[in-house]
């Protein structure tokens, strides 16, 4: 309980609109679609953690927009893995177009987007940044690993300017516990 209070208070101190004690925990509507844009492996890590949390979720690395009809929420992990793209037989241009199409489908199906950024891929890569910006500017919630080495200033700016709740993860070793403090599954 004390840890929950500490996290909620730290969110208040960030002065990010929407991140307040009343927002702890967030609702997590099931089932959840988890996908990577840029073919990084962070989305697979997220799926594993969701399994540990007993969240009903599917990991579809190459999810198409039509798949959203079967889900209540979408978790997107943006970031380039060049090896992942080669293994998937895709390119940055195709991933960028797929990302735009998924975002458009979230509007069509009224599905919220949760951006989760753990930073397990090439950092400060211009193409990763393009994907981050595309997803972040359309996200309903942003969850970021504090020490990801990624564009933290950008996430803070988007959260403040767009009023998007931003939650920071302090310890990837306790990712499951930290996520359980941020949101709870729907019943």
Strand partners, 143: 116, 167
Instruction: Please return the burial class of 149, using the count of CB atoms within 10 Å of its CB with bins 0-12, 13-18 and 19+.
Output: exposed
Q: What are phi and psi of 168, to 5 degrees?
A: -110, 135
What pLDDT sits at residue 18? 38
Residues 6+ apart with CB under 8 A from 43: 34, 35, 36, 59, 61, 75, 76, 77, 116
Residue 31 sits in a domain whose CATH number is: 3.40.50
What pLDDT sits at residue 98? 98
User: pLDDT digit of tens for each residue in the chain (187 aa)?
Assistant: 334 333 333 333 333 443 433 344 567 789 999 999 999 999 999 999 899 888 899 999 999 999 999 999 999 999 999 999 999 999 999 999 999 999 999 999 999 999 999 875 555 688 988 999 999 999 999 988 887 766 788 889 999 999 999 988 887 777 777 777 776 555 4
The C-alpha atoms of residue 23 and residue 135 are separated, in whole angstroms, by: 21
Could you tell me the CA-to-CA distances from 1 to 6, 14, 39 in Å, in that order?
9, 20, 36
The number of domains in the chain is 1
Find the domain containing 8 and state its range.
Answer: 2-185
């Amino acid at each position: 309980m004390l840890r929950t209070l500490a996290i909620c208070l730290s969110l208040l101190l960030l002065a990010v609109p929407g991140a307040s004690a009343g927002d702890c925990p967030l609702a997590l509507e099931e089932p959840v679609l988890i996908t990577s844009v840029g073919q990084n492996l962070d989305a697979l890590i997220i799926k594993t953690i969701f399994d540990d949390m007993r969240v009903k979720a599917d990991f579809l690395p190459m999810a198409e927009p039509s798949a959203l009809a079967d889900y209540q929420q979408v978790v997107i992990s943006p970031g380039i893995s060049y090896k992942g793209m080669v293994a998937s037989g895709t390119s940055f241009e195709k991933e960028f177009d797929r990302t735009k199409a998924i975002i458009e489908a979230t509007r069509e199906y009224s599905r919220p987007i949760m951006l989760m950024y753990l930073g397990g891929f090439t950092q400060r890569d211009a193409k990763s940044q393009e994907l981050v910006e595309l997803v972040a500017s359309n996200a309903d919630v942003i969850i970021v690993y504090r020490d990801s080495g990624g564009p933290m200033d950008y996430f803070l700016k988007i959260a403040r300017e767009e009023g998007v709740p931003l939650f920071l993860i302090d310890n990837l070793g306790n990712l499951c516990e930290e996520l359980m403090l941020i949101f709870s599954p729907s019943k």
